[in-house]
Every structure is written in C-alpha cells, then in structure tokens.
C-alpha cells in the first residue's frame, strides 16, 4: 500500500527528507530533476520518457464570462522552460482526446480529438529568423498545425477545425514582441458556438508544499507556498452546455463526467496495420498518484496501467477500486496531522472520485439516464446547472462553494488542501480536519485571466 510503514520510528525522518527534496526539486529545478509534485506532473514511470503526452492537469468549469458554455482545459508536457531555444511541440501521430460521459456508464458519449502535424521550413536556418508578428510570419520557420474533430459512437467524425495553427513557444520579446497578438490569432471559433485554443501557456498549478507532500508521500515538509514557474502545452475547449448534455438538455441532464487521454500511433509490423495505443489518462487531480496502489510512495507499473485504462474498467480493477475504499494515505499521515484516519470502507471517497457526490454531481441527477445506477468510474464530474459563484472559494465545495472542486475544477481551486481534507473525512463530519492555515495558500506564478482561454500567457 502507498505509504505503508511511514509511521514507524526511524523511517519517518529519512522519508521526509527524500519527499521534501522531491517536492521542492520538482518545482524549482523542473525537467532537470525529472519529477514534481504538481497535480499529475510525472505520475507514472513511462511519462518520464514521453513528456509530450504527460497530462499534468484537467479543468472543467462553467465559463464565468459565458455561463451558457463549459470550458475544458487539459495541459501536457510539464516543466517547459521559458525562452527555450528549441520550441516545445505537441506530439504528432497522436490522438489527444477529451472524453465526455453524460450517461454515467464509464464510456465516452462524446469525444473531442486534436491531432497535430509539423510544418518545418528550417532547412539550415534556426527555428526563428526574425521578429514574429503573426502566426503566418515568414520568420517563423517551424510551426504546428492541428485538426479538431468531434466523435460520437456510431457516427462518422465531424471536423470542427481543420489545419489551424497552434500558438508557438514564447521565445521572448526580441523575437515575439506581441505574444498576446499571436495568442488571439490562435483562437479558433467553432461551428455551432464555442471556441478552441492550442499552444503554450504558463502552468496555472500552485500549491502548499506541506499539503502536497502529505497527500502524495505521506510525510510533512515545511509549509511553503509555491506556484509552478514554468510553462505547459495546453488545449482549451469551450462549447455550449447543450452540446455536452445527454439529449442536448442540460436542464434535465446537467451532469457530465470528463477525462482526457492521449494515444500514440502504433504499427503492427507483421500485419502492416496501424492502431493507436492509449498511454496517458487524467481525470481528478492527484488521483493516480494518491490512490493507485504501488509498493512505495513512488510511481510504479500500476500508475502506467491506470494511464492505459478506461473508466469503465475501474470497478473491476482491485488496485484502484479497493485502494479508494481502503486508502493508505490517511493512516500514513495520522501521526503528522493529529487526525485519526476515518473508518473504512470509505464510501465518501467512492462518491467523490468514482460515483459523484449525491445531490451535487452524480450522474443519477440526469433524469434521462435510465434506472441503472451509475457505474463506479474515475471521472472529473461536473454539474453544469450549478450557478457561477459570485465569490469563488479556493477550497471549493469544502468551503460551501458548490461550484468548486470536486464539482468540476476551476483554475483557482486549491486542490491539494481540498484533497487532503477529503482524505481526512471532511465530508463525513463537522469541520475541515487536516485543512489548516499551514496547508493552504499560494497563487499561480502568473495570474490566470477572466476571458478565454483563461490561462496566462507563457512565462
């Protein structure tokens, strides 16, 4: 079990030092250290060698400036250095998918798929040969194009955007004097309403290191508030609620489950066939790292298996389902928080991460979903009918803000102390056990914006 034995005398100090170094190193040294503690930055061994498909964070929320729409953001490739001389790029021969389940059966009823291709006109020249003032500038010798499709079971794919240009890596004011203009050019309108953006952005994740170390490693480190001073590659999608809802009716059927996957192209040499193999998956913040069972509190093969799996199989996967009902982390951190681990089985955790919270974001609220109970499947569930909060609370649902995580996830939700509080039983008793001032705080390194695509421009 993750973190088992951390309470034994003689192991606590050494493990705390290792965890503290990993936590701090991941934020301060970025890719040079190879790991991090951000929501899902480096959550499995295979992701270390394939950062282009390493999903860091998934967000889904009602758009504050367009409340008839939902915005979904998925970030990839952590630790992108500002002004890197070699531009970061999305993977080609890869399906980047945002999956939407509006029936509660653990399978996608709607998929949005981005595929990228390279346009490389460098020859012997560098990537950029002069100031880039537009996405079509002749000085931009390397750019990426993408196509966005919408897929529904039993129907042919619908092309929403064809051969759009993604915003490039920000190389600094001398070469890109007006990056805001490049970003505006990269935003594409979608037929039927909505818009999309693909390109680079400042990583919005922030945390308190003590909270993160407790939930990921089971040991305390100093309560230092940090943002992530690096960039990510992002895909942002904004679409009408009616497009996501079961039968197109978000009033009768307000709940959707969302997760993102990336699948790499694989060629069967013997048969000459081509297929795509899923290698990455992200839903709720920190789920893979906190719950999927490994022998120690470090990524292992079970994390890779989760990344290759689908929500519909979660109930039948003991290393996942049983780890939610009988989590190791609350027992491991009991000596450091003074909070007694709640009694098991943890049906409160099953609701939050696998079924949705009753009366808040369970698929059972969808009136046209049928009589069958929603299956246990790890998805980021969002009730699209929850009004936009006039004063959003960073502790989300734990602070009485029904629009906040784990009812979807907004960019300002402080997920680390929220997850810690839920692990400690905040949904089953009074107060917020484990969530004190010492595990809250911090802000993104660069503030998010109030308009699409909401993420800050790259550092």
Query: Which residues of the chain carry a pLDDT beneath 70?
Result: 1-49, 267-273, 293-299, 371
Number of domains in the chain: 1
> What is the distance between the alpha carbons of residues 100 and 109, in angstroms, rounded to a whole number?
6
Q: Write phi, then psi, for 19 (nearest 5 degrees).
A: -65, -45
**pLDDT confidence of residue 184:** 97
Cβ atoms 192, 158 nearer than 8 A: no
**pLDDT confidence of residue 296:** 58
- Read off the tokens for 407: 């009812």
> What is the distance between the alpha carbons of residues 447 and 440, in angstroms, rounded to a whole number?
17
Spatial CA neighbour of 415 closest among 247, 287, 265: 287
Spatial CA neighbour of 203 closest among 41, 87, 432, 10: 41
**pLDDT confidence of residue 292:** 81
The answer for residues whose C-beta is within 8 angstroms of residue 435's C-beta and 6 or more apart is: 395, 398, 417, 418, 420, 421, 424, 426
The answer for residues whose C-beta is within 8 angstroms of residue 18's C-beta and 6 or more apart is: 217
Asked whether residue 5 is assigned to any structural domain, the reply reads no
- Read off the tokens for 75: 């970030």
Asked whether residue 456 is assigned to any structural domain, the reply reads no
**pLDDT confidence of residue 273:** 61
Q: Which domain holds residue 162?
A: 12-439
Asked whether residue 3 is assigned to any structural domain, the reply reads no
**pLDDT confidence of residue 219:** 84
- Rounded to the nearest 5 degrees, what angle is found at the Cα of 345, between the Cα atoms of 342 and 349? 75
Asked whether residue 7 is assigned to any structural domain, the reply reads no
The three-state DSSP-derived secondary structure of 86-127 is: CCCCCCECEEEEEEEECCCCCCCCEEEEEEEEEEECCCCCCC
- Read off the tokens for 172: 């600094």
Q: Report, in this order, helix, strand and coil percent for the chain, each rounded to 5.
A: 25, 25, 50
Spatial CA neighbour of 59 closest among 204, 253, 264: 204
Q: Write phi, then psi, for 312 (nearest 5 degrees).
A: -65, -20
- Rounded to the nearest 5 degrees, what angle is found at the Cα of 66, between the Cα atoms of 62 and 67? 45
Helix (H) or strand (E) run with residue 75 in it: strand 69-80
The three-state DSSP-derived secondary structure of 277-342 is: EEEEEECCCCHHHHHCCCCCCCCCHHHHHHHCCCHHHHHHCHHHHHHHHCCCHHHHHHHHHCCCCC
Asked whether residue 454 is assigned to any structural domain, the reply reads no
Asked whether residue 163 is assigned to any structural domain, the reply reads yes
Asked whether residue 365 is assigned to any structural domain, the reply reads yes
Spatial CA neighbour of 327 closest among 354, 301, 308: 354
**pLDDT confidence of residue 295:** 60
**pLDDT confidence of residue 228:** 86
**pLDDT confidence of residue 9:** 33
Q: Is 32 helix (H, G, I), strand (E, B) or coil?
A: helix
C-alpha distances (whole Å) from 389 to each of 67, 165, 397, 444, 448 are 11, 34, 11, 20, 17
**pLDDT confidence of residue 43:** 54
DSSP 396: G
Asked whether residue 123 is assigned to any structural domain, the reply reads yes
Cβ atoms 407, 360 nearer than 8 A: yes
């Amino acid at each position: 079990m993750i973190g088992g034995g951390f309470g034994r005398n003689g192991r606590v100090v050494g493990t705390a030092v290792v965890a503290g170094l990993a936590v701090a190193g991941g934020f301060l040294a970025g890719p040079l250290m190879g790991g991090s503690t951000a929501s899902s930055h480096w959550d499995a061994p295979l992701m270390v060698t394939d950062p282009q498909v390493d999903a860091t964070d998934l967000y889904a929320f009602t758009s504050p400036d367009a409340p008839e729409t939902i915005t979904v953001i998925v970030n990839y490739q952590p630790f992108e250095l500002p002004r890197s001389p070699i531009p970061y790029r999305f993977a080609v021969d890869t399906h980047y998918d945002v999956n939407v389940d509006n029936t509660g059966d653990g399978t996608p009823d709607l998929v949005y798929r981005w595929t990228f291709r390279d346009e490389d006109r460098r020859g012997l020249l560098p990537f950029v040969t002069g100031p880039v003032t537009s996405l079509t500038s002749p000085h931009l010798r390397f750019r990426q194009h993408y196509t966005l499709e919408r897929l529904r079971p039993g129907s042919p794919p619908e092309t929403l955007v064809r051969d759009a240009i993604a915003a490039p890596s920000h190389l600094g004011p001398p070469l890109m004097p007006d990056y805001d203009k490049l970003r505006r050019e990269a935003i594409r309108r979608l037929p039927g309403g909505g818009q999309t953006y693909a390109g680079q952005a400042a990583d919005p994740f922030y945390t308190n290191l003590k909270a993160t170390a407790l939930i990921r490693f089971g040991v305390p480190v100093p309560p230092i508030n940090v943002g992530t001073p690096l960039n990510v590659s992002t895909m942002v999608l904004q679409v009408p609620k009616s497009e996501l809802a079961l039968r197109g009716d978000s009033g009768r059927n307000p709940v959707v489950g969302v997760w993102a996957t990336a699948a790499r192209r694989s060629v069967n040499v013997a048969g000459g066939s081509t297929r795509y193999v899923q290698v990455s998956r992200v839903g709720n913040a920190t789920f893979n790292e906190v719950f999927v069972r490994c022998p120690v509190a470090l990524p292992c093969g079970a994390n890779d298996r989760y990344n290759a799996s689908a929500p519909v199989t979660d109930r039948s996967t003991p290393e996942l389902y049983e780890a939610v009902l009988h989590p190791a982390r609350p027992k491991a951190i009991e000596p450091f928080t003074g909070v007694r681990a709640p009694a098991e089985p943890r049906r409160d955790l099953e609701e939050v991460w696998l079924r949705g919270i009753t009366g808040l974001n369970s698929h059972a609220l969808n009136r046209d979903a049928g009589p069958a109970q929603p299956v246990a499947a790890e998805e980021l569930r969002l009730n699209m009918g929850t009004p936009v909060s006039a004063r959003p609370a960073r502790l989300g649902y734990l602070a009485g803000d029904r629009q906040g995580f784990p009812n979807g996830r907004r960019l300002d939700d402080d997920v680390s102390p929220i997850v810690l509080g839920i692990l400690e039983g905040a949904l089953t008793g009074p107060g917020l056990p484990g969530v004190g001032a010492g595990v809250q705080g911090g802000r993104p390194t660069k503030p998010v914006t109030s308009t699409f695509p909401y993420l800050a421009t790259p550092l």
